[in-house]
Chains A and B, each alone.
Chain A
Amino acid sequence: MRGYLGIDVGSVSTNIVFLSERGEVCEAVYLRTRGQPIRALQEGLGELRRRLPAEVSVLGVGATGSGRYLAGLVTGADVIKNEITSHAVAASTLVPGVQTVIEIGGQDSKLIILRGGIVADFAMNTVCAAGTGSFLDQQAARLGIPIEDFGRLALQSSAPVRIAGRCAVFAESDMIHKQQMGYSLADILAGLCEALVRNYLNNVGKGKEILPPVVFQGGVAANAGMKRAFEKALGMEVIVPPYYHVMGAVGAALLAREKMAARRPSKFKGFGVTEARFQAAGFECGGCPNACEVVELREGGEVLARWGDRCGRWSSSLGLQNVG
């Protein structure tokens, strides 16, 4: 069996997929990053290895997500791409003709506008996290509801409550108020979904032309209440594709396939990296008043890479690529 690895190391989850030569998803692993991206990556690769047949051959590796450079160094990726391009490539391959991609993850949310199969415009949330999955996570926890049941419960609502969703802090006090007034849980949950959608469309979607087909992906797309709230707000069908939760990794694998079409050898270090001992440590450089926080990645005793310095004093001292 031959194919491509796609790795998406995000702030909340680490996703790895194995794509066949024809571009079909064979296996997908979804793990929580839990603040330890290297360990999550090693665990994920180990899990994938167990699920794949023994004679598997990796033709190329793509890495994406906020931990893409780290993941690329650890595994030996052939392509390191940002999340926006990866998500766009995955959506336009799995849902041909897509014109709008809504992606909501744990810590960030994106809107990608495609025209004729290529990205025409995009936006990401700025400093505020009120339009992201962690907002829902937090509120569900406050209400004592497992996040997995959130969507199903929200769908039972017939009259969603209006909740001020501009800010997570105010949303919470507003929710408590509505709760004390006696609204049902389902109506409050559906109201939360609508508040988040409103917030997303006002901030991330500001000034963007949202045309169908609309694809909704990222971890939050699991929430059926969110899908319905988007459909209601946009007045059009919203498609949640299969593998919606690992689309970034699918996109990275597709980009690796595109790059390796010329049949060059992959830089993949092999599944043995799951056993290797990696250590990442930071230190503050005292070379100038910038006091950059430099991160160093070691494998065994050897320094693989350094980054975080503005001037290149540390990152270039190894003759390796300047990350970022």
Chain B
Amino acid sequence: MPRIGIPRALLYYHYFPWWEAFFVSLGAEVVISPPTTKAILDRGLEHAADDVCLPVKVAVGHVLELKDRVDAIFLPRLVSVAAREYICPKFLGLPEMVGHSIKGLPPLLSPGLNLYRGGSPYHFFAALGRALGYPPWQVLAAYRRACRVQQQYKRLLESGLFPEEALAALRGRHDAAAPRDTMGSPLVAVIGHPYNIYDAFVSMDLLGKLGRRGIKVITADSLSEENVCRGAAHLPKRLFWTLGRRTVGAAYHYLQWGRVDGMIHVSSFACGPDSFAGEFIARRAHRMGLPFLSLVLDEHSGEAGMVTRLEAFLDMVERRKKYREEGSAS
């Protein structure tokens, strides 16, 4: 029974149940790297190219974490996950970057997923199954099962669970499946890539900090694809980066929705698409008079600076809310 390592990084937050169910159905054992720590980031910094973004450096650290514990590491080459859209080029080159900069790695499982011209992701899984030496009928059955699990995961996310909660619910922990209460307030939309906002180390525990201050949080991941598309349709031109389109689409949707009291955009330094997606969102939020905070993460970020900005932002949210309520009461 092969042990397959999956790094807890990048699109793990989007697709982990899909990948895990596929491997497990084939009879493989799946090992996930532990949540990000300073040691994981430091090792990633040592081995990653200088000019990549923070999340890619973190991903390299997770690969190193798995290196001596598994028979193979699953590091897919994600080119496109939707028609006429692309995933960031840094994801595309990740298998090469890792393969060339880390010595003594177990074999990398890096099938390519490219749905730019449409088609089914089945070919991706078929290549993966072939590489592992399983017969086609078994691969097809595992693929079907994996797709069902991924559908279920998406439904859990859309019910308002955050990825780790949805994963726990998939594992049968029903206490984790209670839908998130977004009633009452203040309600803040946290917009950013899942690998930035749900990684408590990278985001300096942004979601935990908000929770402890009594703030309710919603993110892009509880939105259906239709809502994201409607939001992104306000842009003058189609955004062809899938992740950037999700970010802008979700932010625009929440701005239109009118029930959030503030919005935080989380981006990583050196992320090209984030730099302008953030600007699109900031301009619209300002036009609508919604409190907005842009948090840029990198490996040098001091927590003190982040806490100061966050506190000032929350004061702004609360004072504005109080002022409006007093205004409408009198």
Contact = CB atoms under 8 A, between A and B. Distances in A.
* Co-assembled chains A and B: yes
Interface of A: 66, 81-85, 116, 118-122, 124, 126-127, 207, 288-292, 310, 322, 324
A82 B311 contact: yes
A61 B198 CA distance: 37
Contacts of B283: 207
B319 interface: yes
A251 to B, nearest CB: 11
Nearest to A83: B308
Interface of chain B: mostly helix, strand, loop or mixed: helix
5 contacts: A84-B308, A84-B309, A85-B315, A116-B323, A124-B308
Interface in B300-324: 300, 303-305, 307-309, 311-312, 315-316, 319-320, 323
Contacts of A310: 201, 205
Nearest to B304: A66
Chain A CB within 10 Å, residue with most, of B39, B300, B312:
B312
B320 A118 contact: yes
Given A119-B319, A126-B296, A291-B38, A324 B312 contact: no
B303 to A, nearest CB: 7
A81 B315 contact: yes
Nearest to B309: A124
B263 to A, nearest CB: 12
A324 B304 CA distance: 8
Contacts of B212: 322
Contacts of A289: 37-40
B104 interface: no
A291 B286 CA distance: 40
Interface residues of B, number: 29
A124 B305 contact: yes
Given A118-B323, A126-B296, A290-B201, A84 B312 contact: yes
Nearest to B324: A118
Nearest to B305: A124
Chain A CB within 10 Å, residue with most, of B303, B309, B311, B320:
B311
Contacts of B307: 82, 324
B319 A122 contact: no
B250 interface: no
B303 A121 contact: no
A290 B308 CA distance: 22
B300 A122 contact: no
B296 A324 contact: no
Contacts of A119: 312, 315-316, 319-320
A80 B311 CA distance: 11
B61 to A, nearest CB: 10
B282 interface: yes
Nearest to B323: A118
Contacts of A122: 312, 316
B172 interface: no
Contacts of B305: 124
A291 B42 CA distance: 11
Given A84-B315, A119-B320, 15 more contacts: A82-B307, A85-B311, A118-B319, A119-B315, A124-B308, A124-B309, A126-B296, A207-B279, A288-B37, A289-B37, A290-B39, A310-B201, A310-B205, A322-B212, A324-B304
B258 interface: no
Contacts of A81: 311, 315
Interface in B33-48: 37-40
B58 to A, nearest CB: 13
Contacts of A66: 304, 308
Nearest to A117: B323
B236 interface: no
